[in-house]
Amino acid sequence: MNKWLKWLLSIAGVLVVLAVAAVIVVNMYIGKSKPLIDGEVSAAFLDEDVTIVRDSFGVPHITAESDADMYRAQGYAQAQDRLFQMDLSRRQASGRLSEVVGEAALGTDKTFRTFSLRAAAEASYDGYGDEAKKVLNWFAEGVNAYMEEAKQDGKLPYEFKVLGYSPEPWTPIDSLTIGKYMAYDLGGHWDTLAVRHWALNNFTEDKAKELFITYPDNAPSIIAANVANPVTVAGRFNPDLVPPEFNGSNNWVVSGDKTASGKPILADDPHLGLGTPSIWYQMHLQSPEQNVSGVIFAGIPGIILGHNEDIAWGVTNVGPDVQDLYIEKPNPDDPTQFLYDGEWEQAEVRDETISVKGKPDVPFEVVVTRHGPIISNILYKEEDPGALFSMQWTALEPTKELEAIMNMNKASDWDSFEKALENFNAPAQNFVFAAQDGTIAYKANGRIPIRKKGDAQLPVPGDSSDYGWTGYVPYDELPRVVNPKKGFIATANNRVIDESYPYHITNLWAQPYRYERIAEVLSEGDDFTAEDMMALQMDQKNLYAREFLDDMLNTIETKYEGKYSYVAEMLREWDQIDSKDSPAPLVFHKWMKQLPITMFSEEMPEDVYKLMPGKGQIIDQMLRDAYAGKPGTWVTEYGGVDKWVFASLEQALEDIEGLYGDKMMDWKWGDFHQLSFPHPLASASPILEYFLNPKKQAIGGSNVTVQAAAFKEDGTVNHGAAWRFVADFSDLSKAYHVVGPGQSGHMKSKWYKDQADDWAEGIYHETSTDGEIEDGYTLKLKAGR
Please write down the HEC assignment for all residues of 231-297: CCCCCCCCHHHCCCCCCCEEEEEECHHHECCCCCEEEEEECEECCCCCCEEEEEEEECCEEEEEEEE
CB-side neighbour CA atoms (13 Å) of 77: 35
For residue 237, give the amino acid letter. Answer: F
* DSSP reduced 3-state for 614: coil
pLDDT at 26 (0 to 100): 54
Q: What span, in angstroms and rounded, lies between the C-alpha atoms of 156 and 100? A: 16
What letter would DSSP give residue 324?
E
Contact 740, 274 (CB under 8 A): yes
Q: What span, in angstroms and rounded, lies between the C-alpha atoms of 543 and 516? A: 8
Angle at 185 between CA 84 and CA 378, to 5 degrees: 90
pLDDT at 381 (0 to 100): 75
pLDDT at 263 (0 to 100): 98
Q: What span, in angstroms and rounded, lies between the C-alpha atoms of 180 and 294? A: 20
Q: Which residues are annotated as a binding site?
A: 321, 324
Torsion angle of the four alpha carbons 179, 185, 191, 192, in this order, in degrees rounded to the nearest 10: -110
Q: Residues with Cβ < 8 Å from 130, sequence gap 6 or more? A: none
Domains assigned to the chain: 543-675 (1.10.1400.10)
Q: Which residues are annotated as a binding site for Ca(2+)?
A: 321, 324
pLDDT at 28 (0 to 100): 53
* Cis preceding-peptide flag for 741 (omega within 30 of 0): yes
Catalytic residue among 116, 124, 175, 249: 249
Q: What span, in angstroms and rounded, lies between the C-alpha atoms of 658 and 652? A: 10
Select from 782, 771, 780, 781 the least CA-distant residue to 55: 771
Those residues of the chain that have pLDDT short of 50 are 1-25
Q: What are phi and psi of 252, to 5 degrees?
A: -160, 160
Q: What span, in angstroms and rounded, lies between the C-alpha atoms of 773 and 776? A: 6
pLDDT at 188 (0 to 100): 79
Over the Cα atoms of the chain, what is R_g? 27
For residue 696, give the amino acid letter. Answer: K
Q: What span, in angstroms and rounded, lies between the C-alpha atoms of 382 and 399? A: 34
Q: What span, in angstroms and rounded, lies between the C-alpha atoms of 730 and 314? A: 18
pLDDT at 63 (0 to 100): 98
Element (H, E) at 323: strand 323-328
Q: What span, in angstroms and rounded, lies between the C-alpha atoms of 100 and 90? A: 13
Q: Residues with Cβ < 8 Å from 542, sequence gap 6 or more? A: 513, 576, 577, 578, 585, 588, 702, 704, 705
pTM of the prediction? 0.94
* DSSP reduced 3-state for 42: strand
Known catalytic membership, residue 249? yes
What letter would DSSP give residue 478?
S
pLDDT at 241 (0 to 100): 87
Burial class (CB in 10 A: 0-12, 13-18, 19+), 44: exposed
Select from 283, 280, 282, 295 the least CA-distant residue to 63: 283
Sheet holding 60-63, edge to edge: 39-43, 777-783, 50-54, 60-63, 280-287, 290-297, 305-307, 311-317, 429-435, 440-444, 480-482
Q: What span, in angstroms and rounded, lies between the C-alpha atoms of 664 and 375? A: 48
Q: What are phi and psi of 685, to 5 degrees?
A: -165, 140
Model confidence over 95-138: pLDDT tens digits? 999 999 999 999 999 999 999 999 999 999 999 999 999 999 99
pLDDT at 240 (0 to 100): 87
